[in-house]
Amino acid sequence: MTDTSQRPPGPHAYLFVIVTVALDMMAFGLIVPVIPSLVQDLANVPPERATLWIGALAATFAVCNFFAQPVLGALSDRFGRRPVLLGSLAMLAIDMLIMGFAASIWVLFLGRALAGIAGATVSTANAYIADTTAPEDRAKAFGRIGAAFGFGFVFGPVLGGLLGEIDVRAPFFAAAALCGINVLYGLFVLPESLAPENRRPFRLARANPFGAARHFSKLPQVSWLLIAGGIYFFAHTVYPATWSIYTEIRFGWTPFEIGLSLGLVGFGAAFVQAFLMGPVLKRLGPVNTAFAGLCIHVVTMSAFAFAGAPWIVYLLIPLNALGGITTPALNSLMSTVTPRNAQGELQGAIAGLNAFGLIFSPLIMQAMIFTFTHPSAPVHFPGAAFLLAGFLTALALIPFRRGIAANAAALAARGA
């Protein structure tokens, strides 16, 4: 019998890697519409108090994912990509079963922690692609990884909402089945991509997620833009952190309605980045594109906060999608003003800021909803978290303008 782990990668191997990334995102999105209902059931609390539990669950996932990303990447450098990808996917399948059968809120916390660890396979998937593609083909290959992310984000919440109408635990079992099937598929089609002579010993000191402060000190010319990006990402996390519970409290939406709306949000963002980003950048340039994106999100986040009817939310979703031009434009600007030999450090700083937002933003945003929706709240205002997010995005305009001014000469020389 041929040793699957040693033969050259074929089209099925690439498909497996892409499907794995999509499943990671789908497994995350599948359960988003039903988490509020499950938390209320397990913790025996009303929707307003469930916000605190949901924020803590999101932070648990983010913290574990934050620490696991570099560790899994380093383990794949030591033992190869194949065992890490297959092992993580198998762990995710088991984890979904644990959460599906959870009889207490603490088991759900255990499940979210394991999901954060098992879902940290993006770095390994990217490493597999880099191992097996020529340099000139990598941008296209990485683009497919990005498309897989988009696919998972769009269809995960929609499918989760549909299944949630049957039973709030059904999405967990569906995610477990999808992951289990893909593990079996990978056992037969996924060869190892990292040759033994290219492996290195595992050192925990090198698998360290803390690096943002060091990157700031080494990239002073881009610090203002990094601060702007960090504030913006912190604010933007309001969507995955609070959308489900906010729409349930505000409009009484069911899991299906929550999933459908999240699917529309994801589709809009994917469409803008895939089809509109290039033309907008060409017409406005990265500086004006980033500024316009930030302004759009100030308006839409604030408008979501005061939306009094579901039809207003659906009208705002396409406008909000246009704000998807912000992140690529910001990244382009930061890359433009950063030396060639510091591009890797720049990406490390951005990743550190994103991880910070994923850990702490859900806690703060959910606390805002709780503060303004519990029975003795001074003012009943379910949109408080979105109003805070709009304010923070407006605040990000200050370091953004400072960063543009500090790099005016460099940006002008590059036509930005």
Nearest to 35 by CA among 53, 49, 18: 53
How many angstroms separate the Cα of 36 from the Cα of each of 98, 161, 262, 348? 17, 12, 14, 33
How many angstroms separate the Cα of 91 from the Cα of each of 74, 120, 160, 180, 406? 18, 11, 20, 9, 47
pLDDT for res 82: 86
Q: Which domains does the chain have, with CATH numbers?
A: 10-197+204-209 (1.20.1250.20), 211-416 (1.20.1250.20)
pLDDT for res 386: 97
pLDDT for res 138: 54
Nearest to 17 by CA among 126, 120, 174: 126
Residues of the chain with pLDDT under 70: 1-12, 120-123, 126, 130, 133-147, 150, 204-220, 340-349, 351-352, 414-416
pLDDT for res 213: 60
Neighbours of 306 (CB within 10 A): 12
What's the mean pLDDT when you consider all of the chain? 82
pLDDT for res 2: 45
Sign of CA dihedral 249, 254, 255, 257: negative
Tokens of residue 341, six digits: 């030999």
CA–CA gap between residue 289 and residue 287 (Å, rounded): 5
Q: What is the dihedral of CA 167, 172, 176, 182, to 10 degrees?
A: 100
pLDDT for res 142: 59
pLDDT for res 1: 42
Based on the number of CB atoms within 10 Å of its own CB, is 188 exposed (0-12), middle (13-18) or buried (19 or more)?
exposed
What's the pTM?
Answer: 0.72
Tell me if 398 sits within 8 A of 320, measured CB to CB.
Answer: no
pLDDT for res 354: 77
Angle (CA) 27 32 36, round 5°: 140
pLDDT for res 391: 98
Neighbours of 91 (CB within 10 A): 18
